[in-house]
Amino acid sequence: MVISQDQLAHFNSLKTPFYFYDTQLLERTLNFAKSEADKYGYILHYAMKANVNDKVLQAVHAHGFGADCVSGGEVQKAIDAGFSADEVVFAGVGKSDDEILTALSHDIFCFNCESIQEIQVINELAAQEGKVAQIAVRINPNVSANTHAHISTGLKENKFGVNMSEMDAVLEVIAASKHIKLVGIHFHIGSQITDLSSYKNLCVRVNQIQEWFVARHVALEFINVGGGLGIDYYNPEVNDVADFKAYFAIFAEFLELRPGQKVHFELGRSIVAQCASLIARVLYVKEGETTNFMILDAGMTELIRPMLYQAYHKINNLSAIGTTLASYDVVGPICESTDTFAKGLELPLSKRKDIIEIKSAGAYGEVMASNYNLKTLHRSVYSDEVSVVI
Ligand SMILES: Cc1ncc(COP(=O)(O)O)c(C=O)c1O
């Protein structure tokens, strides 16, 4: 997305910081993801954890996605946003009894279970409620996602899923649980995956795992391969929509399905990341001994990814028009040294009150905002309302 002069004029009249959503780009992304998935009859769930902004959820729901939730709060939010319960899945290593009861009360499509104990608890609670809960077992496939260690989830050392070595015991527990029905298996190997060969490796591993189930005469209605498709944080203007074509084609080529078996996906970042920027103002430019500090009114309280995962976000000064460049450490106002978006960044000569855009912030941005230091994040702005406001 590229911010227009009209939009910049509007931003200048507003209090910062705020998130700016490009609703047209979101539409384009959703249309492309859905049409590529439809080619193969794949079922898409949107990973709510990426962004639960109401307008985003409306758009996602309108394009026929289900919801992938990781808490009772997300399950409730999905239902409130209009997602039908039979398109809601619920994952997470630590589902509390209350969260399980919330999901049972809505008769959600499936619990993605991550431990034997969890399966037993869901069975007990479903019995108490007089229900039968559909479950998928989340399996840790020990496949590398070739991504940042903090967002890798499918390796032995990660806390997620059940190992194949425990699977005989899992099947015994399921067989003895009258209020559980096993309907699928679930995988999610990590996030911001740009090396698509990781997905080929996942398919190969899933095929082996399927053989294991077939040998035990266990029929699986679906395979859920999770999400994780990465986006281009370095060239967001050029690659503003993720390569869903290549992504789904890998599964079509390498995943071996049994007759009637469906494939489910849980995409978060690739759906929403490019559709929003964090808009901030320069409060001060301070000359340090070794560097200049550009101090923004937005910090880790609005967008924590750079501080949490050393994530890169492209930063533009929308107000600066000169060609002279200077080097800046772009930092926030929070009383923590880690509150730094970028170090030694070359930007046009910048001054107090310039408007700064931090791009590709639609996923794991607004949803992770906190009010640490009692900071205020202002109301989000949407591209389809800017022309009305001006
Ligand atoms: C179980 C599960 N599914 C889906 C996702 C969505 O991942 P992404 O936003 O990378 O597509 C996550 C995120 O970590 C997850 O934990």
Residue nearest to atom 15 of ligand 1 (CA): 188
| Residue 377 confidence class, pLDDT cut points 50, 70, 90 | very high
What pTM does this model have? 0.94
What would the mean pLDDT of 116-140 be, rounded to a whole number?
97
- pLDDT tier, 141 (very low <50, low <70, confident <90, very high otherwise): confident
State the pLDDT confidence band at 109, using cuts at 50, 70 and 90.
very high
CB of residue 69 inside a 6 A radius of ligand 1 = no
pLDDT of residue 390: 38
Average pLDDT for residues 241-257, to the nearest whole number? 98
Amino acid 321: pLDDT:
81
CA distance 111 to 114: 9
Q: Given a cut of 90, is residue 159 above it in pLDDT?
A: no
CA 33/CA 75 separation, integer angstroms: 23
The per-residue pLDDT for 143 is: 78
**With 70 as the cut, is the pLDDT of residue 151 above it?**
no
Give residue-wise pLDDT tens across range 337-375: 899 999 999 999 999 999 999 999 999 999 999 999 999
Q: Calculate how far, in angstroms, residue 12's C-alpha sits from the geometric centre of ligand 1.
A: 35
47 lines ligand 1 (CB under 6 A): yes
At residue 273, what are phi and psi to the nearest 5 degrees?
-60, -45
What is the tens place of the pLDDT at every residue in 33-68? 999 999 999 999 999 999 999 999 999 999 999 999
Domains of the chain: 5-18+274-389 (2.40.37.10), 23-273 (3.20.20.10)
Q: Does 161 contact ligand 1 (Cβ within 6 A)? A: no
Pocket lining: 71 vs ligand 1, CB cutoff 6 Å = no
Average pLDDT in the chain:
94
Please give the Cα distance from 251 to 39 (Å, whole number): 12
Residue 381 confidence (pLDDT) = 97
Q: CB of 188 closer than 6 A to ligand 1? A: yes
Q: Across residues 273-284, what is the average pLDDT? A: 98
Q: Distance, CA 156 to ligand 1 centroid (Å)?
A: 17
Mean per-residue pLDDT, 249-267? 97
Quote the percentage of the chain above a pLDDT of 90: 89
Mean pLDDT of 167-180: 96
Q: Is the pLDDT of residue 130 over 90?
A: yes
Atom nearest to 186 CA in ligand 1: 1
Residue 389 reports pLDDT greater than 50: no
**pLDDT score, position 323:** 86
CA of 52 to the centre of ligand 1 (A): 14
